[in-house]
Homo-oligomer: A and B are copies of this chain.
Amino acid sequence: MKNNNQLYGGIEGGGTKFVCAVGTEPNDIRAEAQFRTTTPQETMAQAVDFFKQQESSFGKLASIGFACFGPLDPNPSSPTYGHVLPTPKPGWSNANVLGVLCSAFDIPIAFDTDVNGAALGELNWGKGQGLDTFIYLTVGTGIGGGVFVERKLLHGLLHPEMGHIPLQHDKTKDPFDGVCPFHGDCFEGLASGVAIEKRWGQPGSTLPPEHPAWDLEADYISRALATYAYTISPQRIIIGGGVGQLLHLLPRIQKKTYEIINGYIQSPAILEDIENYIVNPELGNLSGVLGALALAKQALLEN
């Protein structure tokens, strides 16, 4: 089965852009392409074209991993497996994105959420190595989380939606109503990049570290992390995304989460080593597409 020459394909399908790559691991990426997420027809066709082209250079791929934005159906025994579920994103509701790939390539294809893909990338080559249970949270335009739990990617009923938990919202301190079309002031509604921009009237990238936006942001993220620590009991929480990877934010989140938990979880990992408990991803923005390669490898093992 094992063949040292075999190459994998990976797709990180984001709501804003798609990243495709061919290779075997972080130090062996043979080809990469990025393109804007437009319609499912056009975007999926670009992905198919990219891999067909690579196959003409490198030979047949061994498998493909597709880590896609959601909500989506990741359950292989469901009739809508591989579909995007109803989403506010125009044109993508109920799109059978996996079906497009399966029609074009007669090889194993794995399908999961973008954040489960990123978690798998960190598991294989980053801050998740050797762990049994951890969370990969992305805080960027939106907020979502992948969960690796007791050595498996968590799906459960459908897949977690870590960004949509209800949060304490003190309107006397933060009168902003939130931006989530479903919940208003859930975690994503209060703390996503979109929320930051709408609350302060300018993008987060233009707000300096001493701006009050950031203590508020650290506060919301920390409440969410404490919630995850109590519900999932992760051995580590990895925070990625454009907001989540801001260097001045991480120490505030570590400090605030420590304060909220207040000694209740009696593990040295939290009590004595919070700097290694809440971390940024090792693979940075590449967690996603490398995770898709890891999904591809996993697909092959399972077939």
Contacts and interface: CB of A to CB of B under 8 A. Distances in A.
Interface size bucket, A side?
A: 35 or more
A231 B227 contact: yes
Contacts of A29: none
B264 A154 contact: no
Contact of A267 (B133, B157, B160, B182): B157
A71 B265 CA distance: 8
A169 interface: yes
Given A154-B150, A232-B232, A233-B157, A227 B166 contact: yes
B263 A182 contact: yes
A164 B267 CA distance: 15
A275 interface: no
Interface in A148-164: 149-150, 152-164
A155 to B, nearest CB: 7
Contacts of A150: 149-150, 152-156
Nearest to A229: B157
Contact of A158 (B160, B164, B169, B233): B233
Contacts of A228: 231
Contacts of A152: 150, 152
A300 interface: no
B165 A230 contact: yes
Interface string A156-184: 11111111111111000000000000110
Contact of A266 (B71, B166, B167, B183): B71
A132 B168 CA distance: 31
A104 interface: no
Nearest to A155: B233
A159 B231 contact: no
Given A156-B132, A262-B182, A169 B166 contact: no
Contacts of A265: 71, 157-158, 161
Contacts of A233: 154-161
A260 interface: yes
Interface of A: 71, 85-86, 132-133, 145, 147, 149-150, 152-169, 182-183, 223, 226-235, 260, 262-267, 269-270
